[in-house]
Structure 1
């Protein structure tokens, strides 16, 4: 029988321990491998769940220039020019407003913007906007063209026009709907729409004879011409169109075919085209005093039936350039109240 010396015993024990440790190491490695695999699978599942959740949280809005992805209820919106009203109408204050001084002071929004940072709309605006780290930028179809979108979209998602066409689909109704989705305020957005429809229906009930009446918006220009909005579907006429009004037939027949963008400049010799049931007359490039002087200078103007009946609204408040030509969710009621005394004359 083989005898085990202490040295031999120690060697056997060492060998056994080594074998045991090797086996344990293998088991540990197997265990670790299993644990690592399990952890990896768990991490992968969690990552997939988080990714799926993040993907589900994304709100994708398709538009004329592609699509934009927004996180729900962005907390750092920046509004450019008149599109700010779309945010304000839903009770959302932007971190900054980019616009003109005159836009900042418009009566339907000035109180709502008094605590909002103002950025002048100029060549330095983009750099200033990015300093606010916006996670939503919104502008209307007059501002957000391809160039604007290409400049801003690499830094922040943009609420861009639905299509590249002028007018329908790019109006305040579209911006109201999109913001309702992004901010989870669909109910509030629907109320904005229903309030507007209710306002229109009430006005039509109060003024039943507005249906079929004519309206015309025109500006005296400093160069001696008159700029006339001739397209009945121009945004300037949205409110009046909803009330059942349109532009005079002679304007549709003679002037509308001359333009692709809804406006025509006429000479003082063509002043007869300004005869409408309601004429909203403004001025560009001249003072109010100079504009009033034009009323006496232009031959035949005051002889028009619309002047004789007192149906001329002299646009001292600038509604023609703001509330009329740039319709928003906030300025519809203001505009209706502004023109209401004249609508009363022709609509009862």
Structure 2
């Protein structure tokens, strides 16, 4: 699982240099438009307006959770990026599909081109022009919507609507958004204590250190959608990013009415139960620390897709209620 997955300039440059060969090998040349010069669909993105000459049928989903969003809309992508390292078919167990796996931080341009996609979805991405320029010669690239400024900061609502617009499934997209927003509203009503409480979300890094996710990240946003208040101190420390590393002396910033922490490395949850710095938090001492140890729940919590969020709510809400009742 990647904390801050940003492509390296050298990799991008090499990929771009190989692009002509890749598209030639695939026999794929971007369609300049329909016969009458009008596109069947247009989508507004951070990189400008993207025109699609026809409703896509062969879709490559490279953005974080774009594949799960496609599947929720009833379209199976031909290729996906497995950001959360699910393995297998590259998507969470809460959706079904059997696409080809492609690169994440370093998209495999040749493999992508060989699938001859009608569109490349990259709606939750690093926002860089380099990544867009690398992919756009293969097929139209639908990136994040205008206004997204945080890397990987596209909300689940924005992602659902953006993918739905690219697939011409706007009605179904709005149904998915309405259903999940309704569930959040019901949960806030059922648990008024959520709106009276502060919360923080931490991660245990591969090197044994800690970090924090802040609003603008899908994990923090899920909890604020439930009504929790997030500490501005952590957001300030992130300085516009969705995540910030925490030094040992700053782990105290994770203290809140509820603290949710999970390991980025599978099987490492046990280390959190005995970590002296984490266990020294007031929330830990008072039984208000939640350590996520189920990998499916961790992945769903991190997915930021409509089906993933539904799965995460199934598992995390009972834990939140139990901790608040301490």
TM-score, length-scaled by structure 2: 0.76
> How far apart in 2 are the matches of 1:312 and 1:319?
19
Map 1:272-283; keep pairs closer than 5 Å: 272-283=252-263
Map 1:212-231; keep pairs closer than 5 Å: 212-229=196-213, 231=214
Per-residue deviation, 1:269 = 3.7
Map 1:310-329; keep pairs closer than 5 Å: 310-318=287-295, 322-329=299-306
- Aligned residue for 2:118? 135
Which residue, out of 225, 234, 257, partners 2:236?
Answer: 257
- Whether the aligned pair in 2 keeps the contact of 1:232 and 1:246 (CA below 8 Å) is no
Q: Does 1:266 align with 2:249?
A: no
Summarize deviations over 1:20-48 as a string: whole Å, max 9, x none. xxxxxxxxxxxxxxxxxxxxxxxxxxxxx
- Aligned residue for 2:29? none
- Aligned residue for 1:340? 317
- Give 3-state SS (helix, strand or coil) of 1:323's partner: helix
Distance 1:167 1:129, change over 3 A: closer
- Give 3-state SS (helix, strand or coil) of 2:220's partner: helix
> How far apart in 2 are the matches of 1:119 and 1:222?
24
- Aligned residue for 1:243? 226
Distance 1:193 1:122, change over 3 A: closer
- Give 3-state SS (helix, strand or coil) of 1:280's partner: strand
- Aligned residue for 1:33? none
Summarize deviations over 1:46-98 as a string: whole Å, max 9, x none. xxxx954x52x521222221221113421111111421122111111112223
Summarize deviations over 1:278-323 as a string: whole Å, max 9, x none. 22212346x635x524543415x43534223433222223478643
- Aligned residue for 2:9? none
- Give 3-state SS (helix, strand or coil) of 1:227's partner: strand
Which residue, out of 27, 35, 52, partners 1:70?
Answer: 52
> How far apart in 2 are the matches of 1:242 and 1:86?
19
Per-residue deviation, 1:215 = 1.6
- Give 3-state SS (helix, strand or coil) of 2:149's partner: coil
> How far apart in 2 are the matches of 1:294 and 1:175?
32
- Whether the aligned pair in 1 keeps the contact of 2:125 and 2:143 (CA below 8 Å) is no
Distance 1:242 1:222, change over 3 A: closer
> How far apart in 1 are the matches of 2:100 and 2:159?
22
Distance 1:107 1:280, change over 3 A: farther
- Whether the aligned pair in 2 keeps the contact of 1:96 and 1:118 (CA below 8 Å) is yes
TM-score, length-scaled by structure 1: 0.71
Distance 1:320 1:280, change over 3 A: farther
Per-residue deviation, 1:166 = 1.2
Say which structure is richer in helix.
Answer: 1
Q: Does 1:58 align with 2:34?
A: no
- Aligned residue for 1:330? 307
Map 1:1-348; keep pairs closer than 5 Å: 51-52=35-36, 55=38, 57-80=39-62, 81-100=64-83, 101-102=85-86, 104=90, 106-109=92-95, 112-113=96-97, 115-121=98-104, 125-143=108-126, 145-163=128-146, 165-166=149-150, 170-229=154-213, 231-248=214-231, 252-253=232-233, 255-260=234-239, 261-284=241-264, 288-289=267-268, 291-299=269-277, 301-318=278-295, 322-345=299-322
- Give 3-state SS (helix, strand or coil) of 1:217's partner: strand
- Aligned residue for 2:7? none
Report the structure number with the largest CA radius of gyration.
1
Number of residue pairs the alignment of both structures matches: 286
